[in-house]
Amino acid sequence: MIRFTARRLAIVIASLFASTLIVFAILAVLPGSTAQVILGTQATPDSVRALNQQLGLDKPLWQQYGNWLQQLVTGNLGTSYISQQQIGEQITQALRVTGPLVLFGMLIGLAIAFPAGIIGALRSGQRSGALVGAASQVGIAIPTFVGGILLIIIFPVKLHLLPASGFPGWSNPGQAIESLILPAVTLGLVEGAIISRYVRASISEVLQSDYLRTARAKGLTPGQALRRHGLRNALIPIVTVVGLELTGLIIGAIVVENVFTLPGLGQLLLQSVANRDLLMVRDIVMIVAAAVLIINMLVDLSYRVLDPRVMSRV
């Protein structure tokens, strides 16, 4: 297990390095000059050249790339030309919003998906099973921004519960969590609807498996058989989906952050793109890439824990 983890980590690091190359190359070939954007349309060619020199943008590309790598490794990401603020500082601030949002959203999603999926599988062909299926269809069909706005209308506007938007910062944890509840529920409802379908399919398959019949032939009740023999086997395909959904959520959070005006990574990214703050953009993209790679690694590791057959294959 330790050797496997080490190997997977090495792969993650190699992939991260490859990502830096791709991200840098894409931004390098983009048209437009950063100095031109900063100085505006009235700038003289001389002042643009001077600023480029000051920013180090006149240096050869490999040198610029080297500098960036060094920044990434040391964690000192430097200052944004546009906002004149520390890039690292701003990204950390945004992550403090987006991280908990994605995590809470996923937890809520799982808390919905498992009961709903299991009921859907056990009662397939019955009214309650069909109801669960229909509810998940609706949940998938409603876009997150509509769902979010609906929640805002119901809770803060009509019921005067929970804040409708904004984020007070973590200095007051109670308020911070309160302001994350509705956005997290918005994400969680959609995730719950999506994942519940996979849970239902996976449990249905397990319910028809020979080994579950064997478990019943041993004298286990249907509930015991499902808990002791079914769940772990059903989890194997579900973990894959949860991993994919989790990476999707990081992107999906952008919409929800905008609906609830949360100062998260999504907002920071949109703002930076609009401002042509290319240094900020490439660092955010790298953070997202790292998150995706790490989540995938965790998914792979959990296969090893859940499914003994994976061991002998590697």
Partner 1 sequence: MPVLSVRDLSVRAGDLPLVHGVSFDLSAGERVGLIGESGSGKSLTALAVMGLLGKGLTAQGQVLFEGQDLMSTTEKRRCQLRGNGLSMVFQEPMTALNPTMRVGRQIGEVLRVHRNLGKRAAREQARGLMERVDIPDPVHYERHYPHQLSGGQRQRIMLAMATACEPSVILADEPTTALDVTVQSRMLELMRKLVAEQNSALLLITHDLAVVSEMSDRILTMYGGHIVESGSTKSLLDHPRHPYTSALVATSNAVTVDSKAPAGALPMIEGSVPATGQFPTGCPFRDRCPRADEKCAVMPPLEPLGDQVVACWHPVPENAGDPASRVGA
Q: Give the nearer residue to partner 1 in terms of CB position, either 46 or 210.
A: 210
Name the minimum Å distance from CB 70 to partner 1: 46
86 touches partner 1 by CB under 8 A = no
The alpha-helical segments, DSSP class H, found in the chain are 2-29, 34-39, 45-55, 61-74, 87-122, 127-141, 144-152, 173-207, 210-217, 222-225, 231-259, 265-274, 278-306, 308-313
Q: Is 8 in the site for partner 1 (CB under 8 A)?
A: no
Is residue 7 near partner 1 by the rule CB under 8 A?
no
Question: Does residue number 314 form part of the binding site for partner 1 (CB under 8 A)?
Answer: no
Residues 6+ apart with CB under 8 A from 19: 286, 289, 290, 293
**Cα angle for residues 118, 124, 130 (degrees, 5° grid):** 95
Of 100 and 237, the one with the shorter C-beta distance to partner 1 is 237
Restricting to residues 143-202, which ones interact with partner 1 according to CB under 8 A?
none
Considering only 58, 178, 205, 307, the residue that binds partner 1 (CB under 8 A) is: 307
CA 224 to chain centre: 35
Q: How far is the CB of 127 from partner 1 (least distance, A)?
A: 16
Helices (H), 30-60: 34-39, 45-55
In the region spanning residues 95 to 154, those forming contacts with partner 1, defined by CB under 8 A, are 125
Shorter beta-carbon distance to partner 1: residue 7 or 232: 232
Q: Which is nearer to partner 1, 73 or 217 (CB)?
A: 217
Footprint of partner 1 on residues 234-263 (CB under 8 A)? 236
Question: What is the three-class DSSP state of 93?
Answer: helix
Instruction: Fill in the per-residue mask, 218 to 237: x = in contact with partner 1 (CB under 8 A), - = not in contact.
Output: xxxx--x---xx--xx--x-
CB-based contacts of 261, cutoff 8 Å, min separation 6: 165, 166, 167, 267
> Exposure of 7 by Cβ count < 10 A (0-12 exposed, 13-18 middle, 19+ buried)?
exposed
With CB under 8 A as the rule, give the number of residues binding partner 1. 25
Interaction site with partner 1 (CB under 8 A): 125, 208-211, 213-221, 224, 228-229, 232-233, 236, 306-309, 312
